[in-house]
Structure 1
Amino acid sequence: MSAPPIPPSPRRVLLVCHYYAPHIGGIESVVQAEAERLTALGHEVTVLTSADRSSTRVEGGVRVVRVAAWNGLEHRAGVPFPLFSPRLLAQAIRLTRRTDIVHVHDCFYLSSWCAGIAALLFRKPLVLSQHVAMVQHPSALVSAVQKTVYGTIGRLLLRRARKVFVINEYVGRFVAGLGAQRHKTVVLSNGVDAEFYRPAADPAERELLRKEYGLPLDRPLALFVGRLVPKKGIDIALAARTSEFDLVVVGSGDAAMLDGVPGVHHLGSRPPRHVAEIFRACDLFVLPTTGEIFPLVVKEAMSSALPVVTTDEPDYAALGVDRQGMALVSRDAAAVGAAVRRIVGDERAAARMGEYSRSYARAQFSWDEHLDLLRANYRAALERSP
């Protein structure tokens, strides 16, 4: 008996994301990588996203359609939620009419809602990538809004999507609680470019990069990369710092907590090229985050051969992570500080952990595998089209 025919891949793909490069963030980096790699594989990719003003142009072979949006919530309250102009729905409808499949990133944003409406109107297959679960926030109002949005519009999008991609089982449990059916849910891990995020070639390159970014040459440097919010654990990283090492901080947000703190070097928000160089300038990576398993910055740090100190989430146990190669600790300053001090005080252990990071990243964080799985599920979603 002959095998059933393989359904065709979609020729035209619409990717929808609230932000896109050059806006800095993990989701933006993933969407850009997907868009450019799908284009290289022969797909016609259009990205629908936000900007200060509307525009349409080709970037990296990808047609990027930007709709004007106000981003004051991110600047004033640390909430990355652009408020689009009314043109968003019209653009979503126009672009959806001409595409084969609609792929929205995160069900929380206005861009995803409008694309979902357009996909329903034109009966186009909708797939959805959910990158995060509920984000811890000090504001009770922000937390209440998250619960309301995820429990209403988010629930509708997750139930209607032909496929729901999650970056790990933790997010998988979150979407299951909102009604995403298990048979539609696929764990799709993000990849890392191992040539872009690489270790320093030698001590001379590391010293040169430290000079370039104004970092001390004679101090062990622990690096934190992320938004300056409680979810990422910047407060814990600061409390964990001692006289035995300095803390380098890369990220946007309320930097008042960093002002005048001895041994802390805040480099602000940086583009990916700079972040890759800063990885090579530092000795180890620390991220006391919550509710995340292998977030993108941890993968990038591992690809750069840095020892990693991060929160011991339960799902790491199922991934077979070597706890001698990666410091998985409780989410408190004492445990984080002790782990960092152990690494900076033992050069052999630090070298072993760096080697483990690099080898694990090369084996597990493959963009080729990501694209293969993504396209296979695109085909499956098309096969179910009316």
Structure 2
Amino acid sequence: MTFPACQEAIRLQDTQAFILDIIRNVHPMSAAFQEMITRCQTEYFIQVDEDMILHPTAVREMEELMLQAPKHIGMICCHLYDEDLETTIQGVKIYRTASLQSVVFQNVKACEMDLLAQMGAMGIRWVLHPSIQGRHGTLFSPETIYRRYKSMYEKDILEWNDVTGDIKRKARQFRETGDPLALFALLGAVDGIVSVPTAQDKEKDFTKYNLKSLEIFRRIFLESQTFPFPYEAGKPQKRPCVNPPLLPEDVREWAGERHCSSELAREEHEQEFVKISDGLKASERPGDPQRILLICHWFWPSVGGVETIVADLGEELIGMGYRVDVATVGMAERTTLVYRGMNIIPLDDTRTLEPSGIPYFSLEVYRLLTSGQYYACVMFADALSWLLTAFLLGKLHPETRTFIQLLVNQESYDKWRQNSTFKERLLKTLQTVDGVLILTEKGLDAEYVKAVGIQPYYLPNATTPAAVRMDFRKRFAISPETFLVVHVANILKVKNHLGLLYALPCMPSNRKLVLIGRPFHKNNAEEEKNDRQVRDMLKNRPDILFIPGLGKEDVGAALQSADVVVLASLAEVSPMVLLEAMSHGTPWLATPDCGDVAEKAGGIVAPLDMFPVVLTVLQQNPHFRQALGTLGYAHWKSCFNWEVVGEGWREILETGRLSKSYAMPKAIADSMECLQSQFNDLLLSSLAYSHSSESRLSDYPRCSSPKEEDDRDSSLRCVSPFPLVR
């Protein structure tokens, strides 16, 4: 599954001074490893398994290590970060070819350990280097993760007599999430433990991967089955009974005893069941939490801002006692219909309603809205989304509260702002629901909704800091002294990776830019082109570390480790990444097009071509930087954490109104002015040093106070620190 990603990582290496040789269809693994030695015509070779995703600098850095090593060093082993095990492992190895000409990979359970023994007998030493050169354990199917844990437990027990705690971790993960990958890892570990007494001392062989136990578990948990089913296809399920039992009524002596009549007993049971069921029809089941439907186009395993918002909200609502369903388009990559306690209802985006051309999923959503089974329904949608059409297909259920959280950024708004027909339909849609929710206080969503005569409810995004378990700088070999700039965004045109790379053409030696984001083209030619352009630029930028996606906890570690978080988007509504940075006390730098950034504390708003000088000011003034982060944390704590935003959601779902205000507290707003003059002085000094102070300052006037509403001509703004101690 990971082979394409492995190849792509090799293609993106910052050096191409190597020969790539792919060993295919050689088994067992020991024979494939031996083939490396047989084929190698170069002085060194690096063993890259298909589940290893190397960092762009890995090949060059490992070669440099071997070039510096004395001749008796035959192998250097660097680490990989295993995302599944959540720890570093001894992973990718570079060998000195001459040192391995006299050794042979043997077909034993731990052939690489056996190789080390052979090397030791010949006086060939090896080095375990602390650097982390890539990732491992990034993508699994139920089958591959089952085989991994079975093999891992067999090897650990047979070679080292160790039973690790991974099985307990996977059991806990399955209980909490219902993720079938966690289940199959657990089952594989159990299989490995049980099979130790009969396991052969041989290496893995892909031709023998069709395990009977795995086949049965797959049929039980992943396929639709009628139980019981035959263990072996073609064989009878059970031997016929040669002496079948009699029913009680067949025994003449018992025929008149009413309590032994199975038919009468069944009738009484059915009557009692009907009586109970009738009592429940007027309301939800007694004691059951009320049911909420959240509707969005994309959801897990898709990764993005809206997906994060909906998942976090759903989890918060479950904590309040609600039952939560999420209606979203189906995805082939989705391996389960339960995520973080939410039931996923897949919508069909492959069909349309003829002759109108309306997507079929609009009808599916309408049926859910009118089913009467939900206490409230909340749709998260851009104004252009076909999901909104569901509200126009007929009357809504009178007992179900309905809300639309309208998402409007500049890119979307420009597409329909002059279309009167579209705007009439959008207004009609918004007028059908009980409430329109907006994410910004004064942004485009607020402006539009108020302009058409609807009073919206300002209910902002919220976030909870991810539990950080790893040292991000240590994992990616970034010095504590390096000024770390982090950019987190999927590779989309609107996120403007290309613009950011052009604006920062080269990084000073004591500064590191890290880009974290997943390709997100979803069969879109324009986005695929943008993805290629970004990756092509990164090939020539060894000063930039590109990480193609991280889990939530690891992103949190990156934001916490950063000196500043940057965002260069061409359009946003209310970017989650800035809230996450604020929750970690990390200052941020964003373009004016990044949605409601002017409403948030803890950072600087500047045009993209000013990023270099602003980053220099921040790097040279750590106390100022810390002050920004402190204010951002204070603003997050008072307005954007789930404890306070959750209160608003509870109120609006239960009453249909919102009395709580999420406006910036006066103390924080007042303190912004205190640092504004200091920032201007620092900026002036920096620009004067570059011999262009007067012209640049006149080009980018400051915003003296956030209280000056709609000061949109001011293109450079500092958010000053609130004097609170965390």
TM range, normalised to the smaller chain? 0.7 to 0.9
The residue aligned with 1:332 is: 608
Q: 1:153/1:371 Cα in 2 relative to 1: closer, same or farther (>3 Å)?
A: farther
Deviates more, 1:162-171 or 1:54-63: 54-63
How far residue 119 of structure 1 moved from its aligned partner, in angstroms, is 7.2
The residue aligned with 2:376 is: 101
Contact 2:369–2:396 (Cα < 8 Å) also in 1: no
Contact 2:369–2:377 (Cα < 8 Å) also in 1: no
The one of the two structures with greater contact order (alpha-carbon pairs below 8 A, sep at least 6) is 1
How far residue 336 of structure 1 moved from its aligned partner, in angstroms, is 1.4
Work out the CA distance in 1 between the residues paired with 2:422 and 2:296.
Answer: 16
Matched length: 338
Work out the CA distance in 1 between the residues paired with 2:558 and 2:600.
Answer: 29
Which amino acid in 2 is paired with 1:27? V
Work out the CA distance in 2 between the residues paired with 1:45 and 1:303.
Answer: 26
The residue aligned with 1:301 is: 581
The residue aligned with 2:563 is: 283
How far residue 146 of structure 1 moved from its aligned partner, in angstroms, is 8.7
1:127 maps to 2:399: no
| Equivalent in 142, 145, 161 of residue 433 of structure 2 | 161
Work out the CA distance in 2 between the residues paired with 1:135 and 1:348.
Answer: 37
Work out the CA distance in 2 between the residues paired with 1:150 and 1:287.
Answer: 31
The residue aligned with 2:210 is: none
The residue aligned with 1:111 is: 387
The residue aligned with 2:340 is: 60
Deviations 1:151-203 (A, max 9, x none): 354333223222111111202113335x3x343x0111111103x277x9xxx
Which runs of structure 2 are paired with 1:9-48 in the superposition (5 Å)?
A: 11-48=290-327
Deviates more, 1:296-305 or 1:235-244: 235-244
The residue aligned with 1:250 is: 516
How far residue 351 of structure 1 moved from its aligned partner, in angstroms, is 2.6
The residue aligned with 2:363 is: 89
How far residue 288 of structure 1 moved from its aligned partner, in angstroms, is 2.9
Deviates more, 1:125-134 or 1:149-158: 149-158
Matched residue of 1:90: which SS?
helix
Deviations 1:293-321 (A, max 9, x none): 7521101011122121123479666x584
| Equivalent in 444, 460, 463 of residue 189 of structure 1 | 460
1:269 maps to 2:549: yes
1:212 maps to 2:484: no
The residue aligned with 2:654 is: 379
Contact 1:22–1:271 (Cα < 8 Å) also in 2: no
The residue aligned with 1:80 is: none
Matched residue of 2:550: which SS?
coil
Matched residue of 1:135: which SS?
helix
The residue aligned with 2:450 is: 176
Work out the CA distance in 1 between the residues paired with 2:484 and 2:618.
Answer: 11
Which amino acid in 2 is paired with 1:246? K
Q: 1:126/1:353 Cα in 2 relative to 1: closer, same or farther (>3 Å)?
A: same
How far residue 350 of structure 1 moved from its aligned partner, in angstroms, is 2.5
Work out the CA distance in 2 between the residues paired with 1:150 and 1:246.
Answer: 46
Matched residue of 1:128: which SS?
strand
Give unpaired runs (5+ residues) of structure 2: 1-288, 351-356, 520-529, 658-726
Work out the CA distance in 1 between the residues paired with 2:501 and 2:439.
Answer: 28
The residue aligned with 1:3 is: none
Give unpaired runs (5+ residues) of structure 1: 1-9, 71-82, 138-142
Q: 1:214/1:363 Cα in 2 relative to 1: closer, same or farther (>3 Å)?
A: same
Q: CA RMSD in A?
A: 3.4
Work out the CA distance in 2 between the residues paired with 1:369 and 1:290.
Answer: 30
How far residue 261 of structure 1 moved from its aligned partner, in angstroms, is 3.6
Q: 1:303/1:18 Cα in 2 relative to 1: closer, same or farther (>3 Å)?
A: same
Matched residue of 1:104: which SS?
strand
Which amino acid in 2 is paired with 1:25? G
Work out the CA distance in 2 between the residues paired with 1:147 and 1:51.
Answer: 33
Work out the CA distance in 2 between the residues paired with 1:120 and 1:55.
Answer: 35
Work out the CA distance in 1 between the residues paired with 2:490 and 2:299.
Answer: 16
Which amino acid in 2 is paired with 1:295? P
The residue aligned with 1:225 is: 488
CA radius of gyration, larger in: 2
How far residue 20 of structure 1 moved from its aligned partner, in angstroms, is 1.4
Matched residue of 2:337: which SS?
strand
Which amino acid in 2 is paired with 1:276? G
The residue aligned with 1:79 is: none
Which amino acid in 2 is paired with 1:251? G
Which amino acid in 2 is paired with 1:243? M
Q: 1:37/1:243 Cα in 2 relative to 1: closer, same or farther (>3 Å)?
A: closer
Contact 1:96–1:102 (Cα < 8 Å) also in 2: no
Q: 1:273/1:110 Cα in 2 relative to 1: closer, same or farther (>3 Å)?
A: farther
Work out the CA distance in 2 between the residues paired with 1:277 and 1:121.
Answer: 44
Work out the CA distance in 2 between the residues paired with 1:261 and 1:118.
Answer: 52
Contact 1:35–1:62 (Cα < 8 Å) also in 2: yes
Work out the CA distance in 2 between the residues paired with 1:68 and 1:51.
Answer: 6
Deviations 1:36-80 (A, max 9, x none): 11111111221101122599733222221122446xxxxxxxxxx
| Equivalent in 329, 342, 352 of residue 50 of structure 1 | 329
